[in-house]
């Protein structure tokens, strides 16, 4: 399923967070160990199994707290709301509640990068049976309010490049080029 998993590390303190857990924990544990990172959080961007199936194993191996949105059915240690911050030394990850793909979807913004989970991909969005078009529309537009220089890191490798700036994404992604809900919803017909 071409999942991405991210290890976000505060360079000074070496405190870290893992964004989603993917299918296997060994590469994440190895990367954290090699970097000398102390992983404080294992964050679920949303409830789907391809992002959470190894979350508890990862948490146990790294002695990290599992973080999920307050609406999530995931068994977690910390429940977050939109605008809440997760501290990593001198860095913080701001939680952006971005419902639509799932009700519990979140993105994480560190001031330079945004980790979008399955809310926004390079060149596209994905719509699932539980998705609500109006919520997705509002959520992706809230992400686009971040500075254009922000680097976007999606939850899957579905695009022509693995990541890009929001400015570049806004110029390439047809779902971001429409300005009104009706036009947006017409892209799904």
CATH of the domain at 122: 3.60.15.10
What pLDDT is stored for residue 47 in this prediction? 93
Domain count, the chain: 1
- Residue 140 domain-assigned? yes
* pTM (two decimals): 0.95
- CB-CB contact of 93 with 110 (8 Å): yes
CA pair distance 37, 40, nearest whole angstrom? 9
- Residue 125 domain-assigned? yes
Long-range contacts of 128-134 (CB under 8 A, 24+ apart): 128/101, 128/102, 130/102, 130/103, 131/100, 131/101, 131/102, 132/99, 132/100, 133/100, 133/181, 133/184, 133/185, 133/188, 134/181
3-state secondary structure of 30: helix
Q: State both tokens at 143.
A: 């992400």
Alpha-helix runs per DSSP H in the chain: 26-35, 49-52, 55-62, 133-143, 166-172, 174-177, 181-186
- Residue 84 domain-assigned? yes
The pLDDT tens digits of the residues spanning 1-44 come to 688 999 999 999 999 999 999 888 999 999 999 999 999 999 99
- Residue 29 domain-assigned? yes
The band of 186, judged by pLDDT with boundaries at 50, 70 and 90, is confident
Report, as an integer, the average pLDDT of 124-140.
79
- Residue 73 domain-assigned? yes
| Residue 149 buriedness (CB in 10 A; 0-12 / 13-18 / 19+) | exposed
- Residue 47 domain-assigned? yes
What pLDDT is stored for residue 187 in this prediction? 86
Residues spanned by the domain of 118: 6-186
The band of 165, judged by pLDDT with boundaries at 50, 70 and 90, is very high
The pLDDT tens digits of the residues spanning 70-123 come to 999 999 999 999 999 999 999 999 999 999 889 999 999 999 999 999 999 999
**Neighbouring C-beta atoms of residue 94, cutoff 10 Å:** 16
| pLDDT at residue 169 greater than cutoff 70 | yes
Residue recorded with tokens 């639509």: 100
CA distances from 111 to 2, 9, 55, 91, 143 (A): 26, 13, 25, 9, 12
- Residue 85 domain-assigned? yes
- Residue 1 domain-assigned? no
């Amino acid at each position: 399923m071409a999942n991405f998993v991210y290890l976000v590390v505060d360079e000074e303190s070496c405190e870290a967070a893992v964004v989603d857990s993917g299918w296997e924990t060994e590469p994440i544990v190895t990367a954290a160990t090699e970097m000398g990172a102390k992983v404080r959080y294992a964050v679920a961007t949303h409830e789907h199994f391809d992002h959470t199936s190894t979350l508890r194993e990862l948490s146990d191996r790294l002695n990290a707290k599992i973080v999920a949105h307050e609406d999530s059915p995931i068994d977690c240690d910390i429940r977050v709301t939109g605008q809440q911050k997760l501290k990593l030394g001198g860095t913080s990850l701001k939680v952006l509640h971005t419902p639509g793909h799932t009700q519990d979807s979140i993105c994480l913004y560190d001031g330079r990068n945004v980790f979008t989970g399955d809310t926004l991909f390079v060149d596209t969005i994905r719509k699932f049976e539980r998705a609500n078009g109006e919520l997705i529309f509002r959520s992706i537009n809230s992400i686009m309010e971040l500075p254009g220089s922000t680097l976007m890191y999606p939850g899957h490798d579905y695009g022509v490049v693995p990541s890009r700036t929001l400015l570049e994404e806004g110029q390439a992604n047809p779902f971001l080029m429409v300005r009104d809900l009706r036009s947006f919803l017409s892209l799904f017909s």
